[in-house]
Amino acid sequence: MYRFKRVIIKIGTNVLTRKDGTLDLTRMSSLVDQIALLHREGAEIILVSSGAVASGRNEIIAKNKLDNVSARQLYSAVGQAKLINRYYDFFREHGIACGQVLTTKESLGTRRHYLNQKNCMGVMLENKVIPIMNENDTIAVTELMFTDNDELSGMIAAMMDAEALIVLSNIDGIYNGDPANAEAEVIRVIDPDCDISAYIQASQSTFGRGGMLTKYRIARKVAREGIEVIVANGKTDNILPLLMTPQTEVVCTRFIPSAKPSSGIKKWIAHSDSFAKGEIHINACAAKALTGEKATSLLPIGIVNVVGNFEKDDIVKIINDDNKTIGVGKVSCDSEKTRLLIGKKGNKPVIHYDYLYLE
Ligand code: GLU
């Protein structure tokens, strides 16, 4: 049997495109064959596929010179249609239904929208439809857009309580240096409790938006929530069945999932930092208590400052005495009330441990 029942598979632009940027249909069809096999044998798969912008770029010659935002809007509108049509046809050859889910970061900002999105994917899976997700690049143009589809896939893995997230790129995994350098090696196993970001190459990929460092950061966060993350080469033959089959050797990077999976609400909070409405600054003593071994809530006595205006149940950032964000949490009272509580004794938490995520 396969190692995971429910798995999110993210396919990067560089896996789906040839060197000249055109859509690599042979690769795409081979990946669909692999997914179809897993699906037939009972795995629940959600696909997060990039490649819209790249597919559109070769379809259309713009009349005038376009700024970055307009170019992305035009190419993604045309390219997404092309991409999903190809997927639809390839899956249909296997007698499998797939459906398109386009989303934006902003539309996942409230708990209600988040749960609506979760429900949509749930009903698709229940009916054996493979969701194919992408960011809606035609409207996600502000600062509130996903850094890349790695971020989107991490959020979906957490949302859907997946057992694993497989990120397919055009290299074998995360390297301990520049992959172009012969001495650099794939880091085979990563313990998400250790921060090794200093060893990872910060450069971006050729056609996609992401890079190795963002992959690493997202993967680490997701693994700490109890989900195994695998970064592997989508151009390796039969990669998906190989990764899904127990005791099979294949070069890739695996992030060991934390033994204590986070609750649904904690996972939502962990991926909601960009929706923070304000900041709560805390003293060194409170920071030590929060980041210690024992589960601790944030009490008024540890608060030194409150920035911004927020309502009860909003997400806020928690900032330590070095001015560094150490986490996010859902507040139990609004900013006005929190200001009145600064430094006061009392056991009623401003952020309860169950609604707290520490980086
Ligand atoms: N949503 C973009 C596309 O489909 C890709 C974003 C990314 O590179 O992760 O073209």
Q: Are residue 302 and residue 344 in the same domain, yes or no?
A: yes
In a domain, 267, yes or no: no
Tell which of 262, 293, 323 closes a domain.
262
Backbone angles phi, psi at 205, to 5 degrees: -80, 165
Range of the domain at 128: 6-262
Has residue 82 been placed in a domain? Answer: yes
- Residue 329, domain CATH: 2.30.130.10
Interval between CA 288 and ligand 1 midpoint (Å): 39
Domain membership of residue 210 (yes or no) is: yes
Residue 149 and residue 79 in one domain: yes
Q: Which atom of ligand 1 is nearest to the CA of 148?
A: 9
Shortest-distance atom of ligand 1 to CA 55:
10
pLDDT at residue number 179: 80
The reply to whether 187 falls in a domain is: yes
What is the tens place of the pLDDT at every residue in 5-21? 999 999 999 999 998 88
Give the pLDDT score at 197: 83
For ligand 1, mutation pick of 8, 9, 11, 13 (most atoms within 8 Å of CB): 13
Instruction: Kindly state whether residues 52 and 154 are assigned to the same domain.
Output: yes
Sheet with strand 303-307: strands edge to edge: 303-307, 278-282, 315-319, 325-330, 356-358
Same-domain check for residues 320 and 214? no
Residue 144 DSSP SS3: coil
Q: Is residue 270 assigned to a domain?
A: no
Residue whose CA lies nearest to ligand 1 atom number 5: 50
Helix, strand, coil percent values for the chain (each to nearest 5): 40, 20, 40
Q: Which of 222, 333, 316 is nearest to 276 (CA)?
A: 316
CA of 246 to the centre of ligand 1 (A): 31
Residues of the chain with pLDDT under 50: none
Distance from C-alpha of 196 to C-alpha of 183, rounded to nearest angstrom: 18
pLDDT tens by residue, 303-352: 999 999 999 989 999 999 999 999 999 999 999 999 999 999 988 999 99
Residues 13 and 42 occupy one common structural domain: yes
Q: Does 143 share its domain with 112?
A: yes
| Alpha carbon of 297 to ligand 1 centroid (Å) | 38
Where does ligand 1 bind, in terms of residues with CB under 6 Å?
13, 50-54, 76, 134-135, 137, 148-149, 208-210
Answer whether residue 102 is part of any domain: yes
- pLDDT for 209: 61
Say whether both 146 and 175 belong to one domain.
yes
Same structural domain for residues 137 and 229?
yes
Which token pair is 88? 């639809």
pTM attached to this predicted model:
0.89
Whether residue 305 is found in the same domain as residue 223:
no
- SS3 sequence, 20-80? CCCECHHHHHHHHHHHHHHHHCCCEEEEEECCHHHHHHCCCCCCCCCCHHHHHHHHHHHHH
| Predicted pLDDT of residue 42 | 95
Note whether residue 269 is domain-resident.
Answer: no
pLDDT tens digits, residue range 183-197? 889 999 999 988 888
Q: What CATH number corresponds to the domain at position 194?
A: 3.40.1160.10
Whether 30 maps to a domain, the answer reads yes
